[in-house]
Structure 1
């Protein structure tokens, strides 16, 4: 990767505020240059009063004092302007980037989030945008100052005495060479650093999500192995990187420190003055201004690292902003609730670990008639969840089509699609907002009486009404619900949305008996009169389904009613026998 590579994503993110950033940098350059005026004025005042010739009148001295004061005030004013402009630009940049990310993520396939997890999204929206914030609000201004101060000081010092100026340059060059050695290969190291941090973030999210299981069953070293491996790998990487750069980094810091520079130029100036090469007064100028050549160099090291980190962060942000989205349908609206799957194929995108691109769904033809219940059953990995996710348009089909009410899913506008198709999954997601807003997610304008009616139908109204603030209680603050209660809230949400087609991942799989009975009552209200597709993990829950479809390796192996499938003595009958007899055959059958 070339050194210029990270600049392209950065240029993309900073394009809308490019003009303001240039103005901020210009103000910082002016501030840095004017900040040297008081030091130059002190040198010239000393030269004025210590000169062998008769000193001029007080007007000249006061003019230098005035120049020092004006320079200091102007430097502060330009610095304040640079900070103000850069921070306003940064605020606009962050707002624009986060809005763009939110819009892009809102248009991404819902299945992408399942595959990627929340660690990558959190890092881009928070960590990476904050990294770019540091660049815009601080790093660029610091770099402008770090370049301007030594250049202006060097010009003045060469005018005063070119010999001592060369000594000062030699000190700077030594420090820069040591710093360059410390930074060798840093671009590749920053990429490795970002990858290691990604692994740590993913491990943290995974560990926190499973902390209840870890604390209950113990075995921490096994349960959060990914987290410990990621943190150990990061620690080893960072320690190795630090050891390889410590000696040149410390050497560069010492050589470029103000005390060392002052001592070097003072000793050299004294020797030159004794040899008659330099004027004694010139040594004063170098004692005051030579440290200005080197002090900013210590800043450059960390700021260059920040620039590289911002480049890597910008790349991750722009990669996410370029995330492929599902095309927004605009053409047709569904008429009715008849669902037709015609020659449906689907393959997950190939990954580094799996390049085979095996089809998860391979040529499925299926019709879901209005008002009927169709159950998808089969062993683990058969494609049940994938097929249901295609109906909810978590992904687009690779080949074939899925129509609802005669309209292809890809042609239905997103808002209309999710008014026509609802889903209730095992993994309940409630937002950290009020219970009222959680239930009314699909109908924000719903009246409280409608929300309460949906909650009553879901057998959860009494529990919600008993919360400290009733339906205004906030999930995670004063509304702490069990898994079964949260599931019934999600069912109330689906009831309020009133979709004619419903995808149901067996909602009672992990519920206790009391909750299961309440959830079953809620589901009875939810499914009445709708076209229902059920992912069934326990065959006993779908024996009364109108149509049972047995999937195997993404294909339809059998279909029919419970009685007919048992009579065929095929795949379904073996699954039924395995679940009816709790022996080793169960594990063997369901894990194929």
Structure 2
């Protein structure tokens, strides 16, 4: 999945964020109310200190008033602690519920997108949206709104109190806050776009790094290691140039804004102005004390506005990526109680398909796979073989035409019924980071241990599993380190457990070593026995006994028949066969000469 939305449509990101956090808004609003009470209560102790000082410095001390002010300050402090804790608890519970809700929505949605969508979107990007981007909303929901509330309420309450003492010194006290906020406001212009560009630049560096690491063995073999990392260095240099251009213009005004909003500047402003006011007789010396105490509380909360803006920008970009996943088109799901296929015959009628909606990969394919027969699809790379095969287990729906089993359109079959009938084993092996027992049991979660073992034996992988430290309880990727061929046999065991009537194979032995290939072929023979079988073949010698060989080129079926018939026709299949034989002869010559 690409980085979505942030760089091109910040308004869409904002809309996505509003939609995502909508369920948490009532809780956030309640928490902000509690935070407002806590913020007011937090100002009261400072007011109490100022009023207590003024009361105690009178010629005649009013003891009752002094005690009342002191108690009010202590009670306010306790109220602040209680309400602050309640506000934080509410937002954190709301955040937990929101993250659970979003992840459930994403999981439910991903369960309905075409299986082919996952081949176009890498798992790392999906994980980023499902895990990292959802977590990126935490600080906004759990903290930022509360910090914003305090940043607004504390200055307002402080200013309201100071105005009762002297409006002129209050105006002077506000000068650092006004200047600092003005500077930050100018700095924040275009911040969302810059952050999006920053994310895009980081993504380019990451992509170049992955490309460099993955290809380093090949380029070093050919002595091109210097050229190999040229793109990485270019992207890294480009990122440094972009970042420096961005931050260099922010360093001075940002430092100046932080200095102006710092407590020391606020205190110096109050003391300097207060000294002038006292010297001119405009204000009593004790009246400067409230400004010295509360002046700090006017500027300090405004720093939270800067951090809240950053949290908001990051959350918006995360929401854009989450929204892109939730916007992925889904397949219509048929409900239970629909028509039941009459048999295991697969029919493709007038099938057209385009990945991007414009460039057609398949153009009017008509094909029948009779129940219990073997059909092989061959053709040059990019001809549409794998796409055609993946329509049978409904990785996608055709753009036009239909795919049916036993006379029932796949779109009218509930997923459980479809995958009970159709199994598939492809080149791209997918195992979960869980026990091998559970990996096999994915095909049927209710299967017994005996059934799991029987499927593993049939897939020629039982002996390898029992040799692992914890046998079937060994976790793939931890104490179960399997070769590509061994992992493929686990996926075959998974398919065998379901006992599908229709099996789709896309060159399952393409990346296996000779020993693994033999074991996989034996396992596939067990899987295919007595079933309707569709094979995408790259090695033509493996399908000479097929009941039907279909030659696909440029998304169109150009030939079909048995091996001998197609050779005799001297057409496209014959040319593919001759090319395969010539390649095999060259391989033998190389091995003999070496």
Which residue matches 1:96? 101
Counterparts of 2:440 and 2:228, CA distance in 1: 34
1:377-526 to 2 correspondences below 5 Å: 377-526=378-527
How far did 1:319 drift?
Answer: 2.8
Q: Secondary structure at the match of 1:184?
A: coil
CA 1:465 to 1:221, structure 2 compared with 1: closer, same or farther past 3 Å?
farther
TM-score of the superposition, structure 2-length normalised? 0.92
CA 1:29 to 1:405, structure 2 compared with 1: closer, same or farther past 3 Å?
same
**Does residue 1:251 correspond to 2:256, yes or no?**
yes
Which residue matches 1:308? 313
CA 1:12 to 1:540, structure 2 compared with 1: closer, same or farther past 3 Å?
same
Which residue matches 1:238? 243
Q: When the two structures are aligned, how many residues end up with a matched partner?
A: 578
Q: Is the 8 A contact 1:383 1:554 kept in 2?
A: yes
Q: Secondary structure at the match of 2:89?
A: helix
Counterparts of 1:98 and 1:470, CA distance in 2: 33
**Does residue 1:120 correspond to 2:121, yes or no?**
no
**Does residue 1:43 correspond to 2:50, yes or no?**
yes
CA 1:6 to 1:346, structure 2 compared with 1: closer, same or farther past 3 Å?
closer
How far did 1:310 drift?
Answer: 1.2
- 1:64-87 deviations in whole A, cap 9, x for unaligned? 110110011100100000011110
- 1:265-311 deviations in whole A, cap 9, x for unaligned? 10111011111122211221111111111011112111112112212
Counterparts of 1:554 and 1:318, CA distance in 2: 33
Q: Is the 8 A contact 1:343 1:364 kept in 2?
A: yes
Which range moves more in the overlay, 30-39 or 13-22? 13-22
Which residue matches 2:23? 16
**Does residue 1:538 correspond to 2:545, yes or no?**
no
Which range moves more in the overlay, 129-138 or 12-21? 12-21
CA 1:97 to 1:449, structure 2 compared with 1: closer, same or farther past 3 Å?
same
**Does residue 1:54 correspond to 2:60, yes or no?**
yes
Counterparts of 1:500 and 1:216, CA distance in 2: 47
Q: Secondary structure at the match of 1:127?
A: helix
Which residue matches 1:84? 89
Q: Is the 8 A contact 1:183 1:245 kept in 2?
A: no
Which range moves more in the overlay, 221-230 or 512-521? 221-230
CA 1:455 to 1:150, structure 2 compared with 1: closer, same or farther past 3 Å?
same
Q: Is the 8 A contact 2:52 2:66 kept in 1?
A: yes
Which residue matches 2:177? 172
Counterparts of 2:235 and 2:333, CA distance in 1: 39
Which residue matches 2:590? none
CA 1:177 to 1:55, structure 2 compared with 1: closer, same or farther past 3 Å?
same
Q: Is the 8 A contact 1:118 1:205 kept in 2?
A: no
Counterparts of 2:506 and 2:528, CA distance in 1: 13
Q: Is the 8 A contact 1:119 1:198 kept in 2?
A: no
Which residue matches 2:591? none
Which residue matches 2:155? 150
CA RMSD of aligned residues (A): 2.5
Consecutive unaligned residues of structure 2, counting only runs of 5 or more, are 1-7, 588-594
- 1:357-376 deviations in whole A, cap 9, x for unaligned? 21100000010011111111
CA 1:247 to 1:225, structure 2 compared with 1: closer, same or farther past 3 Å?
same
Which residue matches 2:570? 569
Counterparts of 1:221 and 1:128, CA distance in 2: 36
TM-score of the superposition, structure 1-length normalised? 0.92
Which residue matches 1:188? 193
Q: Is the 8 A contact 1:181 1:248 kept in 2?
A: no
Q: Aligned to 2:345, which of 333, 338, 344?
A: 338
Which range moves more in the overlay, 209-218 or 472-481? 209-218
Counterparts of 1:198 and 1:441, CA distance in 2: 34
Counterparts of 1:296 and 1:159, CA distance in 2: 22
CA 1:411 to 1:22, structure 2 compared with 1: closer, same or farther past 3 Å?
same
Counterparts of 1:211 and 1:334, CA distance in 2: 51
Q: Secondary structure at the match of 2:98?
A: helix
1:263-342 to 2 correspondences below 5 Å: 263-330=268-335, 331-342=338-349
CA 1:315 to 1:464, structure 2 compared with 1: closer, same or farther past 3 Å?
same
Which range moves more in the overlay, 272-281 or 417-426? 272-281
Counterparts of 1:139 and 1:186, CA distance in 2: 17
Counterparts of 1:487 and 1:226, CA distance in 2: 35
